[in-house]
C-alpha cells in the first residue's frame, strides 16, 4: 500500500511513518509537509539512513495549495491519504486564529476535494477530543455522539474540518474516516506541549509554568498506541465513521508535572502557577468502546511506562530538542509566557 501522509514531519506524523514502515515491509509513504515551525525535516534522517528509507519520499507542500496537492496525487498515485497536517497548538490559536482556519479548515477542504478527484478510496482524517468541549468531573467520557462544543480557535478549526469530512461522506459518498484522540505524548514531540516542555524546563532547573490551579484533567495516550489506532482505522475503518481513541490515563496536569519532577529527581518547588489560559477546558475523557468493538483498538501502554520511555528518549535526543527549540519557537514562547 502507498500512503500519502500529510504533516509527516510533525510529532504524530513522524511516529506514524516510523511505525508503518517498521511494521509493514510492503508499505510506501509519500510524506507531504509544509515544514512550519513544528515540522522538522531532520526527523526523517534516521529513517532515510536505514533500509526503510527507500520506501519514504518527502515532498514539501501546503495542503491548502490545490495545484500542489493535485500534482502530488497525480505523480505518486497513493492508495490512501492520512491527514495529520495541522496547526496544533492552542496557545498559538488564541494569539492568532487565522493560520488555523487556513490550514485546519481550508487545507482539509482542499485535500478532500483533491483526494476525491483522484478517486482515493481510503482517507483518514486525524482529529482530537478537544472538538467535544469540556466535561465536569461527574460527566461520562465523550462518545462519538457527543455534541461538538469547541472552546478554543484550535478546537473550532478542528471541529470545522471534521464537519467537512462528514459532509464529503454524506454528500459525495467520499469514503473518509475521522479519528479523535486524546492528548498524545512520546518521542519527537515539539517542546511547546506540556510533557516535553516540562521535561526541558526541569532539566534546565527553570520554573515550570502551570496554568491556574493545574487541575485541568486530560486523558494521556502514548503516541504509538495512537498510531496503531490510526492504522486500524485506515485498514478496517467503516467509511463515514468516527472513532474515539483514548489511553485510559485521566490525570490532572499538576499530577503529570509532579510525576515528571519525581522521575527526574527535581524539586516540586520548581512549579510556578501562572494566569489560566482563557477558555481553558477543565476535563476531557474518551470512551473508545466503538473503536474497541469495530477495530479491536486497546491502548497497550500505561502512563508510567509511556512516561519512562518518553524521558529516556528526550535524554538521548537533547541535540534534536535544542535544535527545534530555537529561533521562531523561542520568540513565541518568550512573548507568550512573558505576558503571564
Ligand atoms: P504538530 O504540530 O507536531 O505537526 C503538524 C505538522 O503539520 C508539522 O509537521 C507541520 O509542518 C505540518 N503542517 C502544518 N501546516 C501544514 C500545511 N498547511 N500543509 C502541510 N503541512 C502542514 O502536530 P501533532 O501533534 O503531530 O498533531 C498531528 C495531528 O493530530 C493534528 O491534526 C492534531 O490536531 C491531531 N491531534 C494531536 C494530538 C496531540 O496530543 N498532539 C491529539 C489529538 C489529535
Domain ranges of the chain: 2-189+221-247+283-306
Is 130 one of the annotated active-site residues of the chain?
Answer: yes
Model confidence pLDDT, tens digit, residues 38-64: 999 999 999 999 999 999 999 999 999
Q: How confident is the model at residue 30 (pLDDT cuts 50, 70, 90)?
A: very high
CA torsion sign for 86, 81, 228, 171 is positive
The reported pLDDT for the residue numbered 326 is 79
**CA–CA distance, 278 with 62 (Å, rounded to integer):** 30
**CA–CA distance, 49 with 53 (Å, rounded to integer):** 6
**CA–CA distance, 84 with 107 (Å, rounded to integer):** 11
Model ipTM value: 0.99
Model confidence pLDDT, tens digit, residues 137-181: 999 999 999 999 999 999 999 999 999 999 999 999 999 999 999
62 CA: nearest ligand 1 atom = 19
pTM over 0.90: yes
Is 298 one of the annotated active-site residues of the chain?
Answer: no
The reported pLDDT for the residue numbered 338 is 60
With 90 as the cut, is the pLDDT of residue 332 above it? no
Q: How confident is the model at residue 331 (pLDDT cuts 50, 70, 90)?
A: low
CATH number for the domain formed by residue range(s) 2-189+221-247+283-306: 3.40.50.720
**Mean pLDDT, to the nearest integer, of 80-100?**
97
Identify the active-site residue in 33, 129, 192, 250: 129
Residue in the structure block whose three cell numbers are 482517507: 123
**CA–CA distance, 68 with 273 (Å, rounded to integer):** 45
| Ligand 1 lining (C-beta closer than 6 Å) | 6-7, 9-13, 33-36, 38-39, 62-64, 84-88, 103, 107, 126, 128, 158, 181, 183-184, 190
3-state secondary structure 227-276: HHHHHHHHHHCCCCCEEEECCCCEEEHHHHHHHHHHHHCCCHHHEEEECC
The set of long-range contacts for 102-107, using a CB threshold of 8 Å and a minimum separation of 24, is 102/64, 103/34, 103/62, 103/63, 103/64, 103/157, 104/154, 104/157, 104/158, 104/160, 104/161, 105/157, 105/160, 105/161, 105/164, 106/64, 107/62, 107/63, 107/64
Tell me whether strands 183-185 and 217-222 are parallel, antiparallel or unpaired: parallel
With 60 as the cut, is the pLDDT of residue 329 above it? no
The reported pLDDT for the residue numbered 240 is 98
Model confidence pLDDT, tens digit, residues 184-216: 999 999 998 999 999 999 999 999 999 999 999
Model confidence pLDDT, tens digit, residues 263-291: 999 999 999 999 999 989 999 999 999 99
Is 154 one of the annotated active-site residues of the chain?
Answer: yes
**CA–CA distance, 154 with 151 (Å, rounded to integer):** 8
Amino acid at each position: 500500500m502507498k500512503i500519502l501522509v500529510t504533516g509527516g514531519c510533525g510529532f504524530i506524523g513522524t511516529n506514524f511513518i516510523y511505525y508503518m514502515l517498521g511494521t509493514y515491509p510492503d508499505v510506501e509513504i509519500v510524506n507531504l509537509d509544509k515544514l512550519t515551525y513544528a515540522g522538522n525535516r531532520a526527523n526523517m534522517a534516521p529513517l532515510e539512513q536505514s533500509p526503510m528509507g527507500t520506501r519514504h519520499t518527502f515532498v514539501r507542500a501546503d495542503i491548502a495549495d490545490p495545484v500542489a496537492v493535485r500534482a502530488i496525487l497525480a505523480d505518486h498515485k497513493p492508495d490512501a491519504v492520512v491527514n495529520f497536517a495541522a496547526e496544533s497548538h492552542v496557545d498559538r490559536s488564541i494569539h492568532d486564529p487565522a493560520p488555523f482556519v487556513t490550514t485546519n479548515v481550508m487545507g482539509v477542504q482542499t485535500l478532500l476535494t483533491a483526494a476525491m478527484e483522484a478517486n482515493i478510496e481510503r482517507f483518514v482524517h486525524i482529529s482530537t477530543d478537544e472538538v467535544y468541549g469540556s466535561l465536569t468531573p461527574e460527566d461520562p467520557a465523550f462518545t462519538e455522539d457527543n455534541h461538538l462544543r469547541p472552546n478554543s480557535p484550535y478546537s473550532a478549526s478542528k471541529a470545522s474540518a471534521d464537519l467537512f469530512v462528514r459532509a464529503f461522506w454524506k454528500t459525495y459518498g467520499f469514503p473518509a474516516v475521522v479519528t479523535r484522540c486524546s492528548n498524545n505524548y512520546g518521542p519527537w514531540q515539539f517542546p511547546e506541549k506540556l510533557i516535553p516542555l516540562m521535561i526541558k524546563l526541569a532539566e534546565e532547573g527553570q520554573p515550570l509554568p502551570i496554568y491556574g490551579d493545574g487541575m485541568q484533567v486530560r486523558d494521556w495516550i502514548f503516541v504509538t498506541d495512537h498510531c496503531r489506532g490510526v492504522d486500524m482505522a485506515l485498514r478496517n475503518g467503516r467509511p463515514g465513521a468516527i472513532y474515539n481513541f483514548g489511553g485510559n490515563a485521566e490525570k490532572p496536569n499538576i499530577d503529570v508535572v509532579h510525576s515528571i519532577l519525581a522521575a527526574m529527581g527535581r524539586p516540586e518547588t520548581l512549579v510556578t502557577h501562572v494566569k489560566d489560559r482563557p477558555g481553558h477546558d477543565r476535563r476531557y475523557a474518551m470512551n473508545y468502546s466503538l473503536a474497541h468493538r469495530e477495530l479491536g483498538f486497546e491502548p497497550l501502554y500505561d502512563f508510567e511506562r509511556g512516561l519512562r520511555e518518553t524521558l529516556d528518549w528526550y535524554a538521548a535526543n537533547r541535540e534534536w530538542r535544542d535544535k527545534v527549540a530555537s529561533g521562531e519557537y523561542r520568540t513565541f514562547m518568550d512573548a507568550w509566557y512573558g505576558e503571564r
